[in-house]
Structure 1
Amino acid sequence: MTSYDLSGRTALVTGGAQGLGEGMAKALAAAGARVMVGDLQDSGADTAAALGEGHGFVRLDVTDESSWEAAVAATVERLGGLDILVNNAGIEITSLVTEVEVADIERMMRVNILGTTLGLKHGLRTMRPGGAAGRGGSIISVSSVAATIAFPGIAVYSATKSAVDRLTRVAATEAGKLGYGVRVNCIYPGLVPTAMGAGLANDVAELGLFASAEAAVGAVVDLTPAGRLGTVEDMADAVVFLASDASRFVTGIGLPVDGGMGM
């Protein structure tokens, strides 16, 4: 049976200071990887320190190409390579379609689409033959169950996460055809009670779409055959799987980690 051991591999996790990203960084480190936590928040340094010796933190604005170049270079230089990239950084701004603000549309597009695209660009350049790391590897982007269902209040967020899915599949095709040795996949997380998830429940209630935040959460659970919300660990374990040799023949997919909500 193939191991999930990631010893000797190096990972960069965007948005790794808190929430899903923090959990993914912890899971990758527990599996043996050296992890660089990339985030705009300086608290990412505390997250990296909590992982123990051999890990690091780098400030990363995923919407800025020069920031990506610096973060990837720092990962290769300080940790010895880049084998795993987790495009996790993302934002969600709740709004009815009739009330959505242009500035909010642009912000979600910049972080969720532009940020993911730049991650794919610089991850592939670094991992492919002749790149600064050049050993191949695995890129995992974080889409959402919102890309597969119609949930009220998150139209633009859903659209950006659908874009992450398409980016994933095209990048996987290009990487395969050009012999990069890099697998490219994404996951579709279900609702997880992180700060973002709790904020969404409150927001859709305030918009009058549900009677309360609790009712919104209950509606999600009712739509989920597994009968519960997701956990950070559920999502992090899926990332470890896609980063490991256990998924060596898996590329170009969107893996639902949603308890069946999006089926």
Structure 2
Amino acid sequence: MNRFEGKTVVVTGSARGQGAAEIRRFHLEGANVAVSDLITDAGKTLAESLGERAIFIRHDVSSESSWRELFGKVEQTFGGCDVLVNNAGVYQPATIAETDTELMEKMFRVNQLGVLLGMKYAVEPLKRRGGGSIVNISSVVGLRGSAATVAYGSTKWAVRGMTKVAANEFAQHRIRVNSVHPGYVSTDMLKANSDASNDAGTLATPLKRQGSPEEIAALVAFLASDESTFITGAEIAIDGGWTL
């Protein structure tokens, strides 16, 4: 299935983990892909492993100039952009009492500001292609309050809200914007939790397991594809039932 043949997809935070799975899925389905990350070695290795139709761009999602440079390189290499996946994110659990200004700003700059800037700078490239799709990766803690996630969770609630604002603003340009809310997914991000916390979260999931990065990538690809052309402003949990 080549749903993305002739199209170009940018995925932020895609040198490894869930973002890398998304890059591989889009490339498998025929897309030109831009691996965006600050992790240079792994990002270059991924792009090189895919061969043709893949480039790596070192990219800081919290920097406006970095976003302008990214879309400039994508346009120069592939002629334009059709899909942006705002996947980059950082996570550090902390209670309200433990949360300081430094942690709050760290979460904000990557998880929230990075998504805002991505949407801001994607508009013109997508408009030049006659429309497109933006998929913002939020979290289940952007759907339901969870202890010890005030900094991280607040940014993910913000992504949920910003997605709806963007869906409203960008519809006139035939640009769809949706948010994806993964639950416990088997990536390095979970290493920030204790084993007991991850075990409890997995047991609280009705399907009694963690999700795989490939399962998230499949949903992201669907939302980015022409199979979902009447879906915008949606918030979709992919969490094994954790938010039931």
Question: Which residue number in structure 1 is paired with residue 159 of structure 2?
Answer: 164
Task: Select between 61-70 and 75-84 the one with higher mean Cα deviation.
Answer: 75-84
1:217 aligns with 2:204: no
Query: For 1:156 and 1:101, how far apart are their aligned partners in 2?
Result: 9
Question: Which residue number in structure 1 is paired with residue 179 of structure 2?
Answer: 186
Q: What is the identity, as a one-letter code, of the residue corresponding to 1:230?
A: G
Query: For 1:17 and 1:41, how far apart are their aligned partners in 2?
Result: 6
Task: Select between 137-146 and 223-232 the one with higher mean Cα deviation.
Answer: 223-232
Q: Alignment partner for residue 42 of structure 1, among 31, 40, 46?
A: 40
Question: Which residue number in structure 1 is paired with residue 79 of structure 2?
Answer: 80
Contact 1:4 / 1:245 at 8 angstroms: preserved in 2? no
Calculate the aligned-residue CA RMSD, in Å.
1.2
Q: Gapped runs of 5+ residues in structure 2?
A: none
1:151 aligns with 2:119: no
Question: Which residue number in structure 1 is paired with residue 190 of structure 2?
Answer: 197
Question: Which residue number in structure 1 is paired with residue 20 of structure 2?
Answer: 22
Question: Which residue number in structure 2 is paired with residue 138 of structure 1?
Answer: 133
Question: Which residue number in structure 2 is paired with residue 246 of structure 1?
Answer: 227
Match of 2:134, SS? strand
- Mapping of 1:249-260 within 5 angstroms? 249-260=230-241
Q: What is the identity, as a one-letter code, of the residue corresponding to 2:219?
A: A
Q: Alpha-carbon deviation of 1:54?
A: 1.6
Contact 2:31 / 2:53 at 8 angstroms: preserved in 1? no
Give % identity: 38
Q: Alpha-carbon deviation of 1:69?
A: 0.3
Q: Gapped runs of 5+ residues in structure 1?
A: 203-212
Contact 1:169 / 1:185 at 8 angstroms: preserved in 2? yes
Query: For 1:102 and 1:7, how far apart are their aligned partners in 2?
Result: 45
Match of 1:99, SS? coil
1:105 aligns with 2:104: yes
Query: For 2:184 and 2:191, how far apart are their aligned partners in 1?
Result: 9
Q: What is the identity, as a one-letter code, of the residue corresponding to 1:119?
A: G
Contact 1:4 / 1:241 at 8 angstroms: preserved in 2? no
Contact 1:4 / 1:244 at 8 angstroms: preserved in 2? no
Q: Alpha-carbon deviation of 1:4?
A: 6.5
Query: For 1:222 and 1:148, how far apart are their aligned partners in 2?
Result: 19
1:125 aligns with 2:124: yes
Q: Alpha-carbon deviation of 1:233?
A: 0.7
Report the count of equivalent residues.
Answer: 243
Kindly provide the CA deviation profile for residues 163-213 of structure 1, in whole angstroms up to 9, marking residues without a partner as x.
00001000000111xx211110110011112111122x22xxxxxxxxxx1
Mark the structure with the bigger radius of gyration: 1
Query: For 2:212 and 2:2, how far apart are their aligned partners in 1?
Result: 20
Q: Alpha-carbon deviation of 1:119?
A: 0.3
Match of 2:65, SS? helix
Kindly provide the CA deviation profile for residues 19-55 of structure 1, in whole angstroms up to 9, marking residues without a partner as x.
1111110111111111001111112111111122121
